[in-house]
């Protein structure tokens, strides 16, 4: 939702303890999102299969239709009839300030889902979810011998240092943005080098500054891809991770993986919402070739 004014004109500092304001929002957009859905969507753009695993509510119908329309797997999506699907209500003003209300709903019960151990899953991602679910799924990935990415994202604040350190020990790779990297290092009391030494790769994205892959004692720097337009960063990290996964599944080196990841993030930036960009695979390949001289 977009409020065509400024919150500061209606929120009085000396009346914060009596806050009761209402905003008329003539512009409203409903977007499908969530880390699992966004990553799976971007993998389909690359014509690569990815399975979103999570718990959703009785209102999941429209999202299910969207996923099926876009050939996204719903095999590992569990519907809970007495809950709503997780959703965020975000109002933005003209200064780009935001007021957000997030309802986790069915996501709170994500621990009720089990990581498949039938050999159908070769790489996993432990992304922001219910805290119990993240702990359970990381342990299940590790126990099953399935290599996985630990991607704490917005869920970073749900865990203390010891818990985060355990995630890192269990994971094969870790991906964070630069702000999350600072939090992770502060909470675990581990330096960048110490974190990188515990996994095969420690990937740090830096927005317009590109990304860095710390692996095997090396620091691989990848410049950012200039976006056609900077419209909305929502879901860019998920698009980046889909690019990484595509390359990792094909055993490509980290430079090539991160290059494709950067291209995917750049394409997403030019569109609102996490799943409204629709480039053909050939367009992604062309952008990758034009930017880095690399092939898909």
C-alpha–C-alpha distance, residues 287 and 170, integer Å: 35
Burial class (CB in 10 A: 0-12, 13-18, 19+), 130: buried
Quote the number of domains for the chain.
1
Residue 251: give its domain's CATH number.
Answer: 3.40.1190.20
pLDDT-derived band at 92 (thresholds 50, 70, 90) equals confident
**pLDDT score of 231:** 87
Q: What percent of the chain has pLDDT over 90?
A: 85
pLDDT-derived band at 219 (thresholds 50, 70, 90) equals very high
Range(s) of the domain holding residue 265: 7-292
C-alpha–C-alpha distance, residues 2 and 113, integer Å: 36
For residue 108, tell me if it sits in a domain.
yes
For residue 69, tell me if it sits in a domain.
yes
For residue 178, tell me if it sits in a domain.
yes
Neighbouring-strand partners of residue 220: 213
**pLDDT score of 17:** 81
C-alpha–C-alpha distance, residues 118 and 96, integer Å: 46
**pLDDT score of 230:** 86
For residue 261, tell me if it sits in a domain.
yes
**3-state helix vs strand vs coil in the chain, percent to 5:** 45, 15, 40
Instruction: Output the pTM of the full model.
Output: 0.93
Assess whether pLDDT exceeds 90 at residue 16.
no
For residue 86, tell me if it sits in a domain.
yes
For residue 171, tell me if it sits in a domain.
yes
CB under 8 A, 24+ apart: contacts of 62-71: 63/32, 63/37, 66/32, 66/275, 67/37, 67/40, 70/41, 70/44, 70/275, 71/44
For residue 2, tell me if it sits in a domain.
no
pLDDT-derived band at 12 (thresholds 50, 70, 90) equals confident
For residue 1, tell me if it sits in a domain.
no
**pLDDT score of 127:** 96
C-alpha–C-alpha distance, residues 167 and 252, integer Å: 25
């Amino acid at each position: 939702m977009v409020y065509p004014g400024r919150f500061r004109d209606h929120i009085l500092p000396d009346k914060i303890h009596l806050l009761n304001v209402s905003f008329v929002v003539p512009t409203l957009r409903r977007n499908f999102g969530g880390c699992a859905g966004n990553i799976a969507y971007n993998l389909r753009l690359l014509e690569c299969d990815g399975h979103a695993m999570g718990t959703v509510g009785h209102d999941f119908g429209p999202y299910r239709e969207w996923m099926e329309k876009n050939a996204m797997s719903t095999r590992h999506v569990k519907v809970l009839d007495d809950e709503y699907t997780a959703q965020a209500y975000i109002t933005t003003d003209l200064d780009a300030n935001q007021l957000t209300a997030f309802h986790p709903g069915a996501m709170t019960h994500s621990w009720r889902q089990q990581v498949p151990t039938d050999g159908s899953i070769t790489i996993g991602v432990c992304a922001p979810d219910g805290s119990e679910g993240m702990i359970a799924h990381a342990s299940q990935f590790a126990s099953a011998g399935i290599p996985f990415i630990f991607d704490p994202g917005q869920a970073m604040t749900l865990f203390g240092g010891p818990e985060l350190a355990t995630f890192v020990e269990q994971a094969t790779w870790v991906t964070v943005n630069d702000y999350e990297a600072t939090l992770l290092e502060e909470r675990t009391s581990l330096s960048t080098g110490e974190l990188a030494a515990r996994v095969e790769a420690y990937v740090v994205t830096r927005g317009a500054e590109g990304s860095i892959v710390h692996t095997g004692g090396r620091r691989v720097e990848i410049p950012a891809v200039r976006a056609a337009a900077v419209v909305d960063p929502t879901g860019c990290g998920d698009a980046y991770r889909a690019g990484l996964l595509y390359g990792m599944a094909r055993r490509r080196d980290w430079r090539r993986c991160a290059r494709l990841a950067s291209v995917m993030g750049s394409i997403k930036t030019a569109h609102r919402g996490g799943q409204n960009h629709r480039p053909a695979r050939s367009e992604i390949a062309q952008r990758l070739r034009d930017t880095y001289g690399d092939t898909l």
